Structure 1
Amino acid sequence: MLNTSLRSQLQTYLRNIRRPVEMIVSQGGGQTSHEMLTMLNEIASLTDLVTVIEEQQGDERKPSFSIRQPGAKAGIQFAATPTGPEFSSLVLAILQVGGHPVIADRTTIEQIRTLERDYYFETYISLSCGSCVDVVQALNMMTVINPRIHNITIDGGIFQSEVSARDISVVPTIYMNGEIFGEGRGSIAELAAKLLDIEMTMRAALRAAGRP
């Protein structure tokens, strides 16, 4: 799937990995699943620090794959084969899980680190959506900064029944813990500020109710 020029560029980028990375694949059968596994194996062939592991249980969406450090909980997941604009999101996720630093302003990073609750994001995208890339990369970076955050990027073209069930008409559309969180473009600073505001409001409500 990767042409010679792209393989060469990718190999250069992957030299920035500092620690081992695992890509855990949950196959669903069919051409989409085959293409996903083929692409991930091609990426892994370019560096000894990336390993592809196939698992057949545990994921509600198939095909999908997660990216993690060995033995750690995965915060980044794709229910998609990230081609086109989203290929850069995949590469960046591998690099950052592999120890390449997250580039964001210090205030935003500290806001994300202070979050104390668990957040599960479902980000619906189209592979042709240019504005989806910023949102996917922002949420993925947040998972690297704070392990209590998880983001799964979902290709609406593959999981059309979910798109219909949730009446999604705009991409990206973000759900957080099962509830709508936002639509359209957003930076890591904007998303982090919104999430911090939600958590601070929740903390205040719990204190008012006499709960920790």
Structure 2
Amino acid sequence: MLDANLKTQLQAYLERVTEPYEIVASLDDGEKSREMLALLEDIDALSDKIALDTAGQDARKPSFGFRRDGVEIGPRFAGLPMGHEFTSLVLALLQVGGYPPKVSDEVIAQIKGIEGEFRFETYFSLSCHNCPDVVQALNLMAVLNPNIKHVAIDGALFQDEVERRQIMAVPSIYLNGEPFGNGRMGVEEILAKLDTNSGAREADKL
């Protein structure tokens, strides 16, 4: 699935993984599932800290998520994160494996302090320039806070969902089944929209 050059680059990145984990794939017998399996087998072969389990039972197929110490953690990809989303995949592989994110300690604390259940879904396309910012922000939040789940969904593969939700453009973000936002958003913007207590905390600081 990955060419030799990309494999060499990815292997160098994966040396930064410090905590072992599993990639759990939910597959069917379709062509895209075969492509996903080939990609995940390449990743599995590049790091002794990453194991591959192909017995996942997620409703969306093909998709894959992550499990660390027997517990589901962080993001899920429904579709192949290639093209513009390949960077999102690399960052998820690193951050699930303990690599520290490049955000401030204050932002990390804010993400970890969010209470409640948050199930995000982001619809993306592989040609979308703005989608990776959203996918990477929500993936990071899902890695840092077990109350937050995020699925990045390739709209081209899940057309029935796109039509049912009447999605006209990507990235399109849903939270707990309801529309949350459209267009490019970073971690801070998502947090500001999500964390209604941040104003009270700012006041406490003053």
Whole-Å separation in 2 of the counterparts to 1:130 and 1:70: 34
The residue type paired with residue 44 of structure 2 is A
The residue type paired with residue 88 of structure 2 is S
Whole-Å separation in 2 of the counterparts to 1:135 and 1:183: 9
Cα deviation per residue 1:35-84 (whole Å; 9 max; x = unaligned)?
00100100110111111101152x11111110231311232101011111
Deviates more, 1:29-38 or 1:104-113: 104-113
Partner of 1:157: 156
User: Is the counterpart of residue 97 in structure 1 residue 96 in structure 2?
Assistant: yes
Partner of 1:136: 135
Superposed structure 1 runs of 4+ greater than 6 Å apart: none
Cα deviation per residue 1:148-203 (whole Å; 9 max; x = unaligned)?
10000000000001000000011000000011110000011111111102x679xx
SS in structure 2 at match of 1:45? helix
**Equivalent residue runs for 1:1-12 within 5 Å:** 1-12=1-12
Partner of 1:41: 41
Maintained 8 Å contact 2:11/2:47: yes
Partner of 1:26: 26
Cα deviation per residue 1:77-120 (whole Å; 9 max; x = unaligned)?
01011111111111110100100001112322222111110100
Whole-Å separation in 1 of the counterparts to 2:63 and 2:81: 11
SS in structure 1 at match of 2:73? coil
Q: 1:69 to 1:110 in 2, by over 3 A?
A: same
The answer for unaligned runs of 5 or more in structure 2 is: 200-206
The residue type paired with residue 181 of structure 2 is G
Whole-Å separation in 2 of the counterparts to 1:102 and 1:75: 13
The answer for unaligned runs of 5 or more in structure 1 is: 202-212
Q: Percent identity?
A: 48
Aligned residues: 199
**Equivalent residue runs for 1:1-212 within 5 Å:** 1-57=1-57, 59-197=58-196
Whole-Å separation in 2 of the counterparts to 1:28 and 1:96: 27
Whole-Å separation in 2 of the counterparts to 1:128 and 1:56: 28
SS in structure 2 at match of 1:88? helix
Whole-Å separation in 2 of the counterparts to 1:13 and 1:55: 26
The residue type paired with residue 79 of structure 2 is A
Whole-Å separation in 2 of the counterparts to 1:163 and 1:31: 20
Q: 1:56 to 1:13 in 2, by over 3 A?
A: closer
The residue type paired with residue 132 of structure 2 is V
Whole-Å separation in 2 of the counterparts to 1:200 and 1:5: 44
Whole-Å separation in 1 of the counterparts to 2:50 and 2:56: 20
The residue type paired with residue 35 of structure 2 is E
SS in structure 2 at match of 1:180? strand
Maintained 8 Å contact 1:85/1:127: yes
SS in structure 1 at match of 2:46? coil
Maintained 8 Å contact 1:67/1:93: no
